[in-house]
Amino acid sequence: MATAETPASPNSSPSSSPSFKAPVVLVAGTFCYPEVFDDMKQEFEARGHQVYAPPLRHHDLPLLEGALAMKETSLLDYRDDFIELIKGLDAPPVIVGWSMGGLIAQLIAQDVEHKALMLLSPAPAAGIFAAYPSMVRTFQHHFSRWGFWRKPLMPEWESFVWSTGHLQDEQLMRDAFVQLKAESGKAYFEMSMWFFDKKRASKVYPERIQTPVLVIAGTDDRIVRTPISKTTAMRFQQGKFVELYRQDHMLVTGTGLPRVMPEFDRWADDNNL
């Protein structure tokens, strides 16, 4: 539904020849390390796409150094870095965002020309209900720290596995955990307590995204419950929602990636991507 807060600015990209493959920009999520998209990057490259997968700001730093640097980094800082990247590309890209990166991808897409948008279990934008029991359990130990919005969020093993990859092979999760980074408390304040955020950093204006939008989520995702993804898809004029049965949050590797890519292929064929 359109809002009156800002004017709509459609950003559909010009049609291209059937042989042309749009570039792909991958936007990572909470705690993510630079290599998190390596498997997915290879899949897109095998399909003929040029792929860009830079880390979020400060997520290329060692854990403790990054914790100091990023503790007050805003969602808008993450957004701006990717807008600068996309404006330098030769063609409008397909923007792919996972988890918090799914929200950031929407913030990017509403302000820059792009070809299409694929969101994998996207974090909730401002105004979307998110107080599901499993999500409260996942984040309550972070939010219970007074002043968390000025502090880094640090990964914890039990919470990481339970909320993100409880259906995955344990070794895969251990390999991922040792690479995790700190996360910005300010970014999480902007997402979870958006009603107190004067800048409304997590506000998405769906009417400004007129391109095709594919949203994929797993039925067993505990950290971003499936109704959030479904609600997100329904907000867009060209939104499509796909639910993967017996799938957790790990959509860019592990058991999730082989299930996500065929859905992308069908959607890409339908939309000449």
d(CA 76, CA 269): 32
Other CB atoms within a 10 A radius of the CB of residue 237 amount to 13
pLDDT per residue, tens digit, the chain (273 aa), is 333 333 334 344 433 445 689 999 999 999 999 999 999 999 999 999 999 999 999 999 999 999 999 988 999 999 999 999 999 999 999 999 999 999 999 999 999 999 999 999 999 999 999 999 999 898 877 777 788 788 999 999 999 999 999 999 999 999 999 999 999 999 999 999 999 999 999 999 999 999 999 999 999 999 999 999 999 999 999 999 999 999 999 999 999 999 999 999 999 999 988
With contact defined as beta carbons under 8 Å apart, do 128 and 231 qualify?
yes
Could you give the maximum distance between any two Cα atoms of the chain, in Å? Answer: 54
d(CA 66, CA 185): 12
What count of Cα atoms within 13 Å lies in the side-chain half-sphere of residue 158?
A: 2
d(CA 62, CA 181): 7
